[in-house]
Chains A and B, each alone.
Chain A
Amino acid sequence: MEWTSYLAPLSQGAWVTVQLTVYSTILGALCAFLFGLGKLSHNPLVKGISVAYIEIFRGTSLLVQLFWIYFALPIMGQAIGLDLRFPPVVAGVVALALNIGAYGAEVVRGAVQAVPKEQYEAATALNFTGRKRLWRITLPQAIPEMMPTFGNLAVQNLKDTALVSLISLGDMAFRAEQIRNFTQDSVTVYTLVLFMYFGMALVLTACMKLLERYVGRWRAAGR
């Protein structure tokens, strides 16, 4: 079989990989901000939940989390009378987002804490409320600091999407495995797929760089 005939099924899988990456990165960023800021909260309950989330998802393996959500959660749901059976795509996006979100949360916390205390004082002197101080003063300065690491995490997340093929989601890795099973032409298939992932990673990196420049555009003014 010609290698070009692999392209149609692989690009179907590639589209699934792109969607998984986009959804789980966005959802993961939400988790990162929610729990990263939660860890800085003065409310002990909010802080406790955030710390527990971060430690559990950073402290265990993504594949363990994925299998737990896909295989174990339905059983637990049964025991407490809830239907927690998720389709693979939901389980996949949720596991990826929760996992990458936990790493992102530490980045958010670090960047927020790195905003100089003087900025906090200036905002207090101008009588900002706590919430407006966060949204208007702290986060706009912290977000550009997070971006380089967020870029790395997004690529990490793209790579991690390959694992959802193990709960039979038809992404690029899954299609590759199907084609190999069918053709036994492993050299061609895997070389092709490796380069496709590499290409996607380069595009994703470029997008994150653009985003980085956008959120930090005030830094470059007049330079």
Chain B
Amino acid sequence: MNDATDNRDPIIRFDKVVKRFGDHVVLDELDFEVQRGEKVTIIGPSGSGKSTVLRILMTLEEINGGVVYVGGEPLWHQRKGESLEPAGEQHLRQMRSHLGMVFQQFNLFPHMTVLRNLTEAPVQVLGVSKAEAKQRGMELLEMVGLTDQASKYPHQLSGGQQQRVGIARALAMRPKIMLFDEPTSALDPELVGEVLNVIRTLADEHDLTMLLVTHEMHFARQVSDRICFFDKGRIKEQGKPEEIFTAPKEERTKAFLKAVLDPDD
């Protein structure tokens, strides 16, 4: 759909972003763009900074350098005349409303029923009426195929069901951008499919911008417009799924794909 070098109005733009944990450089002057409606999958060895990209976008990790733009607005900064200043909580809340996140460990609220997990934030944060939030919540549960579980608590659900609730919960806030942080890594193998199906439906039927970090290579190939291979805090190689998976140019990419696709070899 979009070429990696396409430059028109990206919804996400990382401009020389640096992130360090102590002495360890996680993102090394990263430049990265995502177009509106684009589905991008980030792959790469662990510790390459994949999840950090998502966590920075969700404002869960601060950055140490550079600027992140979401919808043209700086995420971690506020414009003050010509210069940029570190953002205050009000600005961060404003920016966060564009984003939704699905976590590896689901992170559902254990003290709330499934339906309440979906309605709490819309009611408390967006000020939606309870009746409206419930109706929308039930629609979302139908989408993920869990209407019959609405009044259960998260611990009564399987991991796959919990993650489907996690996706519905993020969608309930009507984000423009959905971030998926290894959504199936914590699941038993037989439960992975049901979660991937929900994400696939979402990718096919909605114009959401989607950013995925996953180890499910076949799935990534099916749903993505573009694959980014991360290595040592930078994009080593990116392109259409066919290019990356069938004819990678970089040695590092080849080695990584060989390791994940033929682990027995």
**A residues adjacent to B (C-beta < 8 A):** 118-119, 121-122, 124-130, 132, 136-137, 140-141, 218-219, 221-222
Write out, one digit per residue, whether chain B residues 95-131 have a CB within 8 A of any chain A CB (1) or not (0).
Answer: 0110111010101111110000000110011000000
Q: Which residues of A contact B111 (CB under 8 A)?
A: 140-141, 218-219
Kindly state the separation between the CA atoms of A130 and B173 in the bound complex, as whole angstroms. 18
Query: Could you tell me the distance between the alpha carbons of A15 and B156 in the complex, rounded to whole angstroms?
Result: 45
By a CB distance below 8 angstroms, the chain B residues around A119 are 107, 109
CB–CB B107/A122 < 8 A: yes
* Complexed CA–CA distance, A186 and B153 (Å): 56
The answer to whether B60 has its CB under 8 Å from any CB of chain A is yes
Q: Which chain B residues lie closer than 8 Å to A130 at the CB level?
A: 89
Q: A126-B169, A126-B173, A218-B153 are contacts. A121–B124 as well, Cβ < 8 Å?
A: no
Find chain B residues with CB under 8 A from A127 CB: 93, 96-97, 121, 125, 173
Chain A residue at minimal CB-CB distance from B124: A132
The answer to whether A121 touches B121, judged by C-beta atoms less than 8 angstroms apart, is no
Q: What are some 30 contacts across the A-B interface (CB < 8 A)?
A: A118-B105, A121-B58, A121-B103, A121-B107, A122-B103, A122-B107, A124-B58, A124-B60, A125-B96, A125-B103, A125-B170, A126-B170, A127-B93, A127-B121, A127-B125, A128-B121, A128-B125, A129-B93, A130-B89, A132-B124, A132-B125, A136-B120, A136-B124, A137-B109, A218-B110, A218-B153, A219-B110, A221-B153, A221-B156, A222-B155
Least CB distance from B5 to A in Å reads 31
Contact flags B128-159 to A (C-beta < 8 A → 1, else 0): 00000000000000000000000011011000
Least distance between A135 CB and chain B CB atoms (Å): 9
Given the complex, which residues of B lie within 8 Å of A126, measured CB to CB? 120-121, 125, 169-170, 173
The answer to whether the Cβ of B59 comes within 8 Å of any Cβ in the partner chain is: yes
Q: Could you tell me if B107 and A118 are in contact, using CB atoms closer than 8 angstroms? A: yes
Q: Return chain A residues, CB-CB under 8 Å to B121.
A: 126-128
Decide: A125 near B60, CB < 8 A? Known: A118-B107, A218-B111.
yes
**Considering the complex, which residues of chain B in the window 200-240 have a beta carbon less than 8 Å from any beta carbon of chain A?**
none
In the assembled complex, the Cα of A185 lies from the Cα of B186 at a distance in Å of 70
Q: How far is the CB of A119 from chain B (nearest CB, A)?
A: 6
Q: How far is the CA of A188 from the CA of B115 in the complex (A)?
A: 60
Q: How far is the CA of A69 from the CA of B160 in the complex (A)?
A: 59
Interchain nearest-CB distance for A95 vs B (Å): 35
B112: nearest chain-A partner, CB-CB: A218
CA A219 – CA B111 in complex, angstroms?
Answer: 7
When C-beta atoms are compared, the residue in chain A nearest to B108 turns out to be A122
For A121, A132, A219, which residue has the most chain B Cβ atoms within 10 angstroms? Answer: A121
Residues of B within 8 A of A221 (CB): 152-153, 155-156
Q: Is the CB of A118 within 8 A of B103?
A: yes
A219 to B156, CA, bound (A): 10
A172–B226 Cα gap in the complex (Å)? 78
Contacts of A136 in B (CB 8 A): 120, 124
Identity of the chain B residue whose Cβ is nearest the Cβ of A116 in the assembled complex: B107
Complex: A2 Cα to B59 Cα, angstroms = 74
Q: Which residues of B contact A218 (CB under 8 A)?
A: 110-112, 153
- Within the assembled complex, what's the spacing in Å between the Cα atoms of A130 and B58? 16
Taking a contact as CB atoms under 8 Å apart, the answer to whether B124 and A128 are in contact is yes
Report the minimum CB–CB distance from B9 to chain A (whole Å): 24
Instruction: Please list the 5 inter-chain residue pairs (A to B) with the smallest Cβ-Cβ separation, ordered nearest first.
Output: A126-B121, A122-B107, A125-B101, A222-B156, A118-B107
Contacts of A121 in B (CB 8 A): 58, 60, 103, 107
Which residue of the partner chain A has the closest CB to B126? Answer: A127
Q: Using Cβ atoms and an 8 Å threshold, which residues of chain A touch B120?
A: 126, 136
- In the bound complex, residues from chain A placing their C-beta under 8 Å from that of B108 are 122
Q: Are A222 and B112 in contact (CB under 8 A)?
A: no
Q: Which residues of A contact B100 (CB under 8 A)?
A: 125
1/0 contact string of B225-261 vs chain A (CB within 8 Å): 0000000000000000000000000000000000000
CA distance A124 to B59 in the complex (A): 8
**A155 to B99 Cα, complex, angstroms:** 48
A110–B242 alpha-carbon span in the complex (Å): 52
Q: How far is the CB of A214 from chain B (nearest CB, A)?
A: 13
Nearest residue (CB) in B for A130 is: B89
Least CB separation from B61: chain A residue: A121
Interface centre among B109, B111, B153 (most CB of A within 10 A): B111
Indicate if the CB atoms of B58 and A125 lie closer than 8 Å: yes
Q: Which residues of A contact B124 (CB under 8 A)?
A: 128, 132, 136
List of B residues within 8 angstroms of A124 by Cβ: 58-60, 96
Which of chain A's residues have a CB closer than 8 A to the CB of B152?
221-222
